[in-house]
Amino acid sequence: MIVRYFPSSSFHPATWAKGTTTELVKFPLESDFLKRDFIFRVSTATVEAEESTFSDFSGLTRILMVLEGSLTLIHKGRYQKQLEAYEQDTFDGSWSTRSIGKVRDFNVMFNENASATLRAFSLQSNQSEDISLSQKRVVFFVHTGKFRCGEHILETGSILDIEEMERSSITLTCIESGAILCSEVEVF
């Protein structure tokens, strides 16, 4: 099992046309977002304009979860979806997509060599949650609060990236009430 912990101070936001983006985890590690040679990428972003058009990410599937705010996703010729905090949408990166609403969101992108899921857990202090896992790669992101996972204390904005998970479940214990996201990734 390979475990990597990254405190929030490890990450540095980059500016894009309508806000900021912060890369949290990518695979392979040496891949480059601009070259789009990654198999999967996990990030957060802010959308600071009331309306924005999504970049074309042909060849990638996207999972977008709202962390703060409210967002309407409009997939031209397909469907429209309203997202509130901790609600998500999965869609093809090649779709013509625009959004309405200023938000902070969490993103998982992956190509045809991977699949991914995303779940959010809101816990109160001293509450524990046994999370069933179906994949060997798990990425936890603490949106708010403080959690214990094994020997690691996870604080707001931190990441716990676990490869080669040896168990089919993991226990999270909440130290300070908050929300934690769990993305499971399978690389084929």
Q: Are strands 79-83 and 71-75 parallel, antiparallel or unpaired?
A: antiparallel
Q: Does domain 12-110 have CATH number 3.30.450.20?
A: no
* Alpha helical stretches, state H, 11-122: none
- ∠ at Cα 121 (120, 127), nearest 5°? 170
Domain ranges of the chain: 12-110, 114-187
Was domain 114-187 assigned CATH 3.40.50.620? no
| 141-160 pLDDT per residue, tens | 999 999 999 999 999 999 99
Structure tokens at 98: 């625009």
pLDDT at 165 over 90: no
101-105: average pLDDT: 97
Cis? peptide before 28, omega within 30° of 0:
yes
What value does the mean pLDDT of the chain take?
Answer: 96
The Cα 128–Cα 21 span in angstroms is: 31
Worst-scoring range by mean pLDDT, 17-26, 91-100, 108-117, 123-132? Answer: 17-26
Q: Average the pLDDT over 129-141 and give the result.
A: 95
CA separation for the pair 45, 66 (Å, rounded) = 10
**pLDDT tens digits along 40-95:** 999 999 999 999 999 999 999 999 999 999 999 999 999 999 999 999 999 999 99
Q: Determine how β-strand 152-155 pairs with β-strand 71-75.
A: unpaired
* Cα 58 versus chain centre, distance: 19
Q: Residue 34: its pLDDT value, please? A: 87
φ, ψ of residue 79 to 5 degrees: the values are: -165, 170
